[in-house]
Structure 1
């Protein structure tokens, strides 16, 4: 038999989906009413299909809205979806051979509880130590930042002080130069005031005078009785004191 025939037989007998009226209708001899019901069930009128479609659309929209509202509630209240933290005491040895049930003596239970308490204390100490380390690191960072700011301010103040000293030194040098210039101008003015107007600068040396030539007329008769020859005249000198050599033809 085909699966379609099996499903039709289930539907006809009311086995699936469960329907007791499918069997009871066979005992009611109302063929006309049965035909009308079958026609309406198979075909139906136009209003029935429109209403069914509206109901189906409304049901689908309702389900979608419910799903969206549920998601929004989960996002708004995430604490409700968190799983509660549970503490389970387990033994260190012999826990992998049984199915999960553990039978412990009071002594074993006290030991496990003590170990669990120690582990919790260690975890708390570790958390506190990490918090303390973070605080120390933040304090060290803040201290370094403060030191850097103070060093920056000190450098700025030192720079301003050097600028002031440089400006003061420049002003002092300018004042000294102005005073020296004023003194030189005053000395020059005093010197020009003391010097007479008509005075002239004397020559550093006098120009050498050119000796005039002297001609001696000696009589021919007295040449025999002449004494020793006369000394040669002094050499001629120029205005600058240099000797002038006279050509032989002019001697």
Structure 2
């Protein structure tokens, strides 16, 4: 998971980068320029990528500037010691959370996940969509009660679609969440390949054989199980009962 990190103290930055990396984060260190150049790094569709600000004399103004620019990314402040008044000022300025060290990467992930799911309108840590139970704490989803094993990339893509369900998620949002500012960015067609793999896994595990993920041409993807109409259900039931009549078969029968 990508995260923007602002830590102006070089003595703290290296250790914090290592700690985040050990917890499977992909931190992107930013400088003061991050707040002074039209905020182009946080504009557009990358609203799920959190911003972690180490406390400094400009924390409140930095938060206010980000929010005034239209930034909707989760913003978390990291402090060396408890300071209720400073925390209140940061939260009032637009921060989503104010955390005191020591902090583990796993706790940070849980806090970010809680902020993201509330942003997308999910109060609980999981949702049920058709045959799928999607979790927002990093776990693989369940399909018909059985865990579906996903690779790290597949899970990152699936969670972007699940968070927005049943709304459509553009390919650019998914791509940015998975690859972000990585130097070795692949072509965006790789998202189609991963989506195909995920759909196949769901299809194989779903009792209905429904892949659940819909491709909306030119718009993106959405997690939306197939809905079988009452007429289709009746037709299926009628078909199951029907017996084909052949000459010589005295039992000319079936539902008519």
Task: Please state which band the TM-score falls in when normalised by the shorter chain.
Answer: under 0.3
The structure richer in helix per residue is 1
Relative contact order: is structure 1 or structure 2 higher (C-alpha 8 Å, sep ≥ 6)? 2
Q: TM-score, normalised by structure 1?
A: 0.19
Structure with larger Rg: 1
Which of the pair is proportionally richer in strand? Answer: 2
TM-score of the pair, normalised by structure 2:
0.19
